[in-house]
Structure 1
Amino acid sequence: MSEIIKKFFVFSGERKRTIKKGIVMAIINSFFQAMQIMALYVVLQGIVDKNVTVGTAWTSFGIMLISTVGGIVTKNMSTMAETKGSFFMCADKRTQIGDRMKYMPMGYFNDNSLGAITATVTSTMEDIQDVAPRVMDKTIHGLVHAIVITIMLLFFDWRMGLIILGGILLFLAVNNMMQKKSQGVSPARVAAQASLVGAILEYVQGMSVVRSFNLASNANKTIDRSINECEKQNVSLEVTFIPFMFLQTVLLKWVSVLIVIASISFYLAGTMELSICLMMMISAFIIYTQLETAGSMSALLRSIDLSMDRVNAINETPIMDKEGKIIKPNNYTIKGEHISFSYDKRKIIDDVSFTIKQGTTTAIIGPSGGGKTTLCNLITRFWDVDRGNITLGGIDIKNYTLDSLLLNFSMVFQNVYLFNDTIANNIKFGKPEATLEEIRKAAKKACCDDFIMALPNGYDTVISESGSTISGGERQRISIARAILKDAPIIILDEATANVDPENEMQLQIAIEELTKNKTIIMIAHRLKTVQNANQILVVENGKIVQRGKHQELLNEGGIYSDFISRREKSVGWKLGK
């Protein structure tokens, strides 16, 4: 228990002081509550001595007033501090995770499902935010409350103090057994919660596939299984804890009864005053009330421990930006020297070398799965090469901070992702400080100002997540406007026009021409007109550059490129028969 409490304070980071303040107030609250025993003793002493006076009443009332007012004030301060501390602690952690993810290798997102990551920053963090402070408060408060009263009663009779202390030690022994038992069941509960979030996300994101293939019943079964597993693990956790919680409660009740019996015995033996005996008998039923609550709440400590571990696992994932410096290159020539890269022991790029000169256009073509996109991802350092090195302006890209490296690149992908925000903010993503005038200027160059202004709220129109409320061509032009606004010297086009309908293609070509003026261009493409004018064509197959040169040179050479062009020409000339 103590190790988990220590870990929680380390986890709380900058908010540790606020949370500790809340716990200190809870401890002070215990002292105010313990004063009620003093008020009780004053009255009992007066009754036994047959000397109850107005002074006795006022003394008892004064102590109770201080106890009540002090208890209310400290309880309020404790609750406010713990609530504020836990909320901002989790807000800080979510921000840290978001910031850290920007610098993680992309392989992390392949190894960890979206559901697991989402569950960590949502349900797992909610557990920590809502449950952890309350568990810590009740657990620490319950122990402190019992100890404070024990110390107070020790001054009246050391024998009773030892009996009460024995009850506390028995409680801790059973609680320790419960914590050890929870190690076996808590991980399954946390995993089940993550699995449920993942199943729901998968169902929502794949709704179009579910509907088109009439798989609703199958998808529902997957979610039902996840829900049932989550229910099963939660019930299993509770069933595991019930015997221990029952034993804790029974032990404390037995010790309370023992206190009553011992008090009467000591009084009858003449070794305890009647007033103290009566006070001990009454106190027996309030000494352990807070400790019983602590026992039931402490059952959740192991789940909180695992939740903190899941969050810490993300925040401890190695990042790619440790040694980087903010660098502005003197030129934008890119060189790769004998680079190799593997993913899951499968070699994707195999001993590749290339030079992309500043101000030139390089087209990368080749069979699907050959390594074209991976090559671009290595150039922008989404992943690190296993061997060899890539330089920008003669400087190894590992020497740059990721932010200063990516300032030199604008990317337009085949599958455009837009955020659930206004169109203006989606375009401004390329330059956060941009004015509306700059945004519109970029949009006009990208041929999307007209359709944006036709929308109900123009640039303030909020589009849905991933931009599903507008067409594919419109999404693509917005992404190009974003890249134009960024105005980076190197442009990477990853099959940017592959899935665009003919109506949008002409406007997209105009937008791309505007984007690529006076830039260094790297394009992954299959269309003849997008590659034939390139200064350099790299043909990639099975992770190797098997051909390189200009259009006519590669045609004369034959091989993969010549076959590629031949197939494209045949497809263009294809017609329906009568």
Structure 2
Amino acid sequence: MIRQLLAIVPPRERTLLRTVLALQTGGAVLQGVAFVLLVPALRALLGSDPGSAWPWIWSLAGVAAAQSVVYYLGAKKGFEAGASLSRVLHHRIGDHTAELPLGWFGPARTGELSTLTTQTVMAIMRVPGYLLRPLVNGLLTPAVVVALMYAFDWRLALAATATVPVIMAVYRWTTGLTEKADTIRAKAMTDAAGRVIEYAEVQPVLRSFGRSGQGGSRALDAALDAQRDASHQVVRAGVPGLLGFTLVVQAAFTTVLVYGTYLALGGSLAVPELMALLVLAARFVEPMTEAANLGSALRSARGALAAVQEVLDVPPMPQPDHPVVPAGSSIEFDRVSFRYGTGTVLDEASFRVPERTMTALVGPSGSGKTTVTRLIARFWEVDSGAVRIGGTDVRDVTTEELMARISVVFQDVYLFEGTIEENIRIGRPDATAEEVRAAAAKARVDDIVRRLPDGWDAQVGEGGATLSGGERQRISIARAILKDAPIVLLDEATASLDPENERAVQEALTALTADRTLLVIAHRLQTVMAADQILVLDGGRIVQRGTHDQLIVREGRYADFWAQRNRAQGWRLGAMPAATDAGAAASYDPVGG
């Protein structure tokens, strides 16, 4: 565990931890020496000349005083190291995850990272301040006691030594009993944390269906039940082991007691010396019992260290040794294949988006449209083939350079808790106030600002909860306008917006996409018709390409798509015929029909 801890911290904290370890080691050795000094002190006190005990008593007092000083310094440094570990681990986890491919951040990562940065880091924080001292004492103090016991009676010392392998074997057995249960509990806790976060995020949906109370989320209930069951499993597995270890430790003391009594009855060991050595034997088993009682905490700390190390071992997004700056803003896919899990998402897809043109991606759900945009932004690495920007493979471009050339606007918009202005400024933090206002005006965000009492300082809430979907989209587009990147990747879904917001968002998109290379996942018929090039995706392949006029006269996926969209636009709400149930219901009124 100590090696694990030293491996994941930087040099300064490594030096601090070594200092703590040295102080705890010194304290454990001094404690063992103090215990051993009880033997000559008690032997003198119980013998024929009690006055001869004073030198031993003063020695014992001096060693105890030294041990107290070292203990104080070790405890102080231990708590300092714990606080430092919290800061360092949070920074290391944050810095490392910022370098990971965005494809790594799947749905389960929210709960995992939440647990990692809270419970896991707190478990590691406890190591230098709370767990290291009893652990070191449990190993070193008995070793010192047994080693120095040989100076007084080698027979009892040998008897104590003979019990050590048995104690260690039982300790390993007890650890093995709960190791698997601890792993299951850790996973259950991570799953439960993810479900709690999910439950909080979907409150609007649950409340709209009257399911926000008890039983509102079967998935959350199941996750919490699994966490409870896993905790019970740890207890059931741990109690027998803890009792077994305690019995073995007490059996070791009993062995020394019985053997010492046998020697005393045989006349080869004086009774005063036997009593003193039995006190020493008691001190031999006490630190081990204390360490055993912390076994669960020690296993949790080891598991926490392993969890942090697992995340830190995830390879970051590779950066080029010799970065290249793209010469333009064209986009090219060259026989690109990409698998996600066990399924093929793209299968040798090839196409080119010339500079300052608009390409529309159409196709059924799951055909790979969103994956195309993610690969351009290098959220994931392709399995084979190449994605090029301005003729340069994106793998030869630094992340900073690549992202500086791309603005991404998708349907699911996330706003950070803060003001409207702060959320727009994310697009370019060094922008002036005038530039922020200009971008906001092009995206029609100024309409929102005028409506809100706090204006530019209005708080948007976590995730933009205080704003409507269309208003969040406008702020997202304002970010992209402020960034002023030459390439825009857009999911222009506006079907769920009211007419006013849809018109405002479309005007904002017009301002964003002017004179830029645009790749859009198209949902609106007007967008598809206006595209310079249409790519039809199906089953991970480009099955058709061309302009609207070229594709509409051919049989295939695009013609089917166009017909379906036209039919969908013809749906109207109307009154039911008199012969059926009264009231309003959806009826089909085809366009032009």
1: CA distance, partners of 2:272 / 2:438: 88
1:537 aligns with 2:510: no
Partner SS state of residue 505, structure 1: helix
Could you tell me which residue of structure 2 aligns to residue 149 of structure 1? 145
Conserved in 2, the CA contact under 8 Å of 1:132 and 1:304?
Answer: no
Structure 2 counterpart of 1:286, one-letter code:
R
Select which of 20, 23, 26 maps to 1:22: 20
Could you tell me which residue of structure 2 aligns to residue 420 of structure 1? 417
1:481 aligns with 2:481: no
Could you tell me which residue of structure 1 aligns to residue 73 of structure 2? 77
User: How much has 1:410 moved relative to structure 2?
Assistant: 0.6
2: CA distance, partners of 1:577 / 1:59: 103
1:89-488 aligned at under 5 Å gives the runs: 89=85, 91-110=87-106, 112=108, 114-130=110-126, 134-215=130-211, 216-219=213-216, 221-267=218-264, 269=266, 271-272=268-269, 276-323=273-320, 325-452=322-449, 455-488=452-485
Matched length = 573
2: CA distance, partners of 1:567 / 1:248: 71
User: How much has 1:358 moved relative to structure 2?
Assistant: 1.6
User: How much has 1:565 moved relative to structure 2?
Assistant: 5.0
Conserved in 2, the CA contact under 8 Å of 1:44 and 1:275?
Answer: yes
Identity %: 31
1: CA distance, partners of 2:87 / 2:549: 58
Structure 1 counterpart of 2:18, one-letter code:
K
Residues 303 and 433 of structure 1, relative CA distance in 2, 3 Å threshold: same
User: How much has 1:33 moved relative to structure 2?
Assistant: 2.5
Conserved in 2, the CA contact under 8 Å of 1:327 and 1:404?
Answer: no
Question: 1:59-114 CA deviation, whole Å, 9 max, x = no partner?
Answer: 7356425514x333323332343344344445444444444444544554448554
1:31 aligns with 2:29: yes
Residues 141 and 460 of structure 1, relative CA distance in 2, 3 Å threshold: farther
Partner SS state of residue 520, structure 2: strand
Structure 2 counterpart of 1:177, one-letter code:
W
Conserved in 1, the CA contact under 8 Å of 2:28 and 2:140?
Answer: yes
Structure 2 counterpart of 1:72, one-letter code:
S
Select which of 539, 543, 546 maps to 1:546: 543
2: CA distance, partners of 1:192 / 1:563: 46
User: How much has 1:13 moved relative to structure 2?
Assistant: 5.5
Residues 576 and 60 of structure 1, relative CA distance in 2, 3 Å threshold: closer
Structure 1 counterpart of 2:277, one-letter code:
M
Structure 1 counterpart of 2:154, one-letter code:
W
Question: 1:300-356 CA deviation, whole Å, 9 max, x = no partner?
Answer: 544444443333333333444254654321211111222233334433323332221
Conserved in 2, the CA contact under 8 Å of 1:19 and 1:86?
Answer: no
1: CA distance, partners of 2:228 / 2:563: 59
TM-score with structure 2 length normalisation? 0.85
Residues 574 and 300 of structure 1, relative CA distance in 2, 3 Å threshold: closer
1:508 aligns with 2:501: no
TM-score with structure 1 length normalisation? 0.87
1: CA distance, partners of 2:506 / 2:98: 31
Conserved in 1, the CA contact under 8 Å of 2:522 and 2:528?
Answer: yes
2: CA distance, partners of 1:222 / 1:565: 39
Residues 65 and 219 of structure 1, relative CA distance in 2, 3 Å threshold: farther
Conserved in 2, the CA contact under 8 Å of 1:35 and 1:64?
Answer: no
1: CA distance, partners of 2:47 / 2:341: 84
Residues 113 and 45 of structure 1, relative CA distance in 2, 3 Å threshold: closer
Structure 2 counterpart of 1:22, one-letter code:
V
1: CA distance, partners of 2:225 / 2:551: 60
User: How much has 1:534 moved relative to structure 2?
Assistant: 3.0
User: How much has 1:389 moved relative to structure 2?
Assistant: 1.7
- Structural RMSD (CA): 3.3
Conserved in 1, the CA contact under 8 Å of 2:121 and 2:304?
Answer: yes
Partner SS state of residue 151, structure 2: helix
Residues 221 and 110 of structure 1, relative CA distance in 2, 3 Å threshold: closer
User: How much has 1:483 moved relative to structure 2?
Assistant: 1.4
Residues 42 and 460 of structure 1, relative CA distance in 2, 3 Å threshold: farther
Gaps of 5+ in 1: none
User: How much has 1:528 moved relative to structure 2?
Assistant: 3.2
User: How much has 1:180 moved relative to structure 2?
Assistant: 2.6
Could you tell me which residue of structure 1 aligns to residue 581 of structure 2? none
Question: 1:181-215 CA deviation, whole Å, 9 max, x = no partner?
Answer: 23442322222222322332332233333333344
1: CA distance, partners of 2:567 / 2:179: 65
